[in-house]
Amino acid sequence: MLKSIYIKNFAIIEELELNFHSGLNILTGETGAGKSIIIDAISLAFGERASSEVVRKNSNKAIIECVFDISKIKESLNLSDFTDFIDNDELIFRREIPSKGNSRSFLNDTPISTSKLREISDMLVDFLGQYEHQTLLKSINHLKILDEFANNTDLIKEYQTQLKELTELIYHLKEYKNRREELFEKKDEIKNKLNLILQIDPKPNEDEDINTKLKQIENAEFLTNLAFELYSLIYNSETSCYQYLNRSKKLIDTLSKYESRFLEFEKEISSISISLKEFASFVKDFLDSIDFNAEEIEQMRQRYADLKKLIRQFGSIEDALLMKEKLSKDIELIDKYEFKIEELKSNITAKSKKIGELVDLVEKGRQDKAKILSSLVVEKLKSLGIENSKFEVKFDYSLINDVDLVFEIPAICYNNQYHKALSNGISQCEFLISTNPGYDVQPLKNVASGGEISRIMLAIKSIIANFDKMPLLIFDEIDTGISGKIAQKVALELKNLAKFHQVIAITHLPQVAAAGERNFVVEKIVLLDDTFVKVKQLNEKEKIYEIAKLLSGEKVTESSVNNAAELIKSVAK
């Protein structure tokens, strides 16, 4: 509920603060005293457009602050988008309007955009009178009102759950069709990639395993090559050291026959030859001891080269294996896409028909309750002084004639026809009314009389009071053009409405003022060359006196005071 409002330097209000009651709050006062200015201030705090012209003369800015208690309704409000602003059970709406420049809005001392401010205020307050900000004048809200009246809430929730599943099926169908087209365009490329992977047939971590083995046996190859070359040099070739030593020994033998001194070196050459032969034998044994298979190494190197080819293309062996799985599925999808598409279409059609069964219940409830609501509104308006009114609920449907569209957008099969699926069903509705005999019904927003609008809103609100969750209703000049018994009925309707909502109403009628649970009188004071607004909360005695003024004018008599007291008793029953 709205706990309080603080206004400073707004229009002719210099500064005032009001504390409101949870029930019916009544503002009275002479015409032009400033009652509607207070309502204007509340509407600005909740996001209505502001102009610098509203700033009190000789002031830099106007300030309006409303404190709203949401402790009893917090769970029922959709506040998921406002978690940055809310940290307790109080909402403080503040609007600052400078004499020059743009206004600023705050929610719990945090700056907030006007659009965001309106979004949250639309959940908290209805301004019912000559204001643009009227929930019931917006046709987008009529269906919600009708569904609450028809007790469709649970059906709508189930519908929304089923609609989400239908939407997901359509999304999957679109995704599959797009994927199928992409696959068809790349079919050859997919097959080439898959064949490459299948041909090489890599194993997990195979490249790392081969690389490790290659490093180990590459040393063996290196030693084998060295030992083989050494063995060839010293023994196992026609030009080896051993062969040259044997040739040298024969030459020495021949030369020693002619020169005896060569014999001195014959033993040394023989010794060297023996040592060289022993060394060659050692090298041969070493060479034979090395486990080395040149053919195996070559095979490993070729395998490693093939794996590297995959790694360059796919990033790693693991990625290549994942790609193999994906490409295999892609090929499978290409081969089976027609079957899959038909299966998805069949599921979409079945889901659409299943939701249609829910929609049938919703629509029957809407149609039946629309007639009842229309009858009740006409009856209620008659009691509120609007004779010969007509009230209708107009329904609109969006048919889908192109069958292919039902697989592109959510559609509901209802009465053997496809309808565009909306967030709350397949229909939209608008309240139409005529308040004058001989005139056709027209949208509520086109009704010209502000007093009539307020009474129409009061009638509808009274009928749906148990269903409507709006915390605060503000009525401005609801009593225009009525008096007597009708005024009494308006007062009782407001009092009854205040059992379900907090109500703030401006009135000139003593009957309505008498029904107030908290009454305020608004006065305009002219002092020197300036004008001020004063608001006073009335105690019970002051309330009686104020109602007596409404009954008899400025001259309050004992009789009017007694009548006022009786009037308060009569609406208190």
The rounded distance, in Å, linking the Cα atoms of 163 and 426 is: 11
List 94's β-bridge partners, or say none.
65, 106
**How far is the CA of 527 from the CAs of 12, 121, 176, 531, in angstroms?**
12, 37, 78, 6
Is residue 473 within 8 A of residue 135, CB to CB? The reply is: no
Say what angle helices 294-314 and 206-234 make with each other, to 10 degrees: 150
139 phi and psi, to 5 degrees?
-60, -25
The rounded distance, in Å, linking the Cα atoms of 67 and 378 is: 37
**How far is the CA of 477 from the CAs of 1, 28, 338, 443, in angstroms?**
21, 10, 67, 21
Q: pLDDT digits over 427-460, tens only?
A: 999 999 998 888 899 998 787 566 677 778 888 8
**How far is the CA of 100 from the CAs of 62, 439, 452, 470, in angstroms?**
11, 47, 37, 35
- What own/partner pairs with CB < 8 Å and gap ≥ 24 does 102-106 have? 103/50, 105/47
Closest to 135 measured CA to CA, from 473, 506, 497, 480? 473
**How far is the CA of 281 from the CAs of 6, 270, 456, 529, in angstroms?**
113, 17, 121, 132
List 106's β-bridge partners, or say none.
94, 111
SS3 state at 412? strand
The rounded distance, in Å, linking the Cα atoms of 303 and 346 is: 49
Say what angle helices 558-572 and 540-552 make with each other, to 10 degrees: 110
The rounded distance, in Å, linking the Cα atoms of 298 and 292 is: 11
Report the residue count for the chain.
Answer: 573
- Token code pair at residue 232: 């060839």
The rounded distance, in Å, linking the Cα atoms of 318 and 251 is: 70
The rounded distance, in Å, linking the Cα atoms of 375 and 529 is: 55
* Cα 44 to the center of its chain, rounded Å: 27
The rounded distance, in Å, linking the Cα atoms of 47 and 107 is: 11
Residues 6 or more apart whose Cβ sits within 8 Å of residue 571: 488, 491, 492, 495, 511, 514, 515
Q: Can you give the pLDDT at residue 450?
A: 60
The rounded distance, in Å, linking the Cα atoms of 513 and 521 is: 10
Beta-carbon count within 10 A of 471 CB: 22
The rounded distance, in Å, linking the Cα atoms of 347 and 341 is: 10
Q: Can you give the pLDDT at residue 87?
A: 78
**How far is the CA of 486 from the CAs of 383, 483, 512, in angstroms?**
7, 6, 10
The rounded distance, in Å, linking the Cα atoms of 207 and 301 is: 11
What residue ranges do the domains of the chain occupy? 1-124+470-573
Q: pLDDT digits over 254-289, tens only?
A: 888 888 888 888 888 888 888 888 888 888 887 776
Alpha helices in 235-293 (DSSP H): 241-256, 263-289
Tell how many helices (H) and how many strands (E) occur in the chain: 15, 17
Is residue 487 within 8 A of residue 509, CB to CB? The reply is: yes
- The sheet with strand 472-475 has its strands ordered as 125-128, 472-475, 502-506, 24-28, 518-527, 530-537
Q: Can you give the pLDDT at residue 132?
A: 47
In angstroms and rounded to an integer, the radius of gyration of the C-alpha atoms of the chain is 48
Closest to 303 measured CA to CA, from 375, 440, 163, 206? 206
DSSP letters spanning 63-111: EEEEEEE-TTTGGGS--GGGTTT-SSSEEEEEEEEESSS--EEEETTEE
Give residue for tokens 């008659």. Answer: 382
- The sheet with strand 390-397 has its strands ordered as 390-397, 427-434, 442-443
Closest to 551 measured CA to CA, from 537, 536, 567? 567
Q: Which CATH superfamily is domain 1-124+470-573 in?
A: P-loop containing nucleotide triphosphate hydrolases (3.40.50.300)
Q: Can you give the pLDDT at residue 451?
A: 62
573 residues of the chain, pLDDT tens digit each: 999 999 999 998 999 999 999 999 999 988 888 888 999 999 999 988 888 999 998 899 999 999 999 988 888 788 878 888 887 889 999 999 999 889 999 999 999 998 889 889 988 998 876 544 567 778 888 998 899 889 898 999 999 999 999 999 999 999 888 877 877 777 788 788 888 888 988 888 888 888 877 776 777 777 778 888 888 888 888 778 888 888 888 888 888 888 888 888 888 888 888 888 888 888 888 777 666 677 888 888 898 898 998 899 889 989 999 999 988 887 777 777 778 888 999 999 999 999 999 999 999 999 999 999 999 999 999 888 888 899 999 999 999 999 889 999 999 999 999 999 999 999 999 999 998 888 899 998 787 566 677 778 888 888 887 677 789 998 887 766 677 788 888 888 899 889 989 999 998 889 999 999 999 999 988 887 788 899 999 999 999 999 999 888 778 888 999 999 999 988 876
Is residue 396 within 8 A of residue 419, CB to CB? The reply is: no
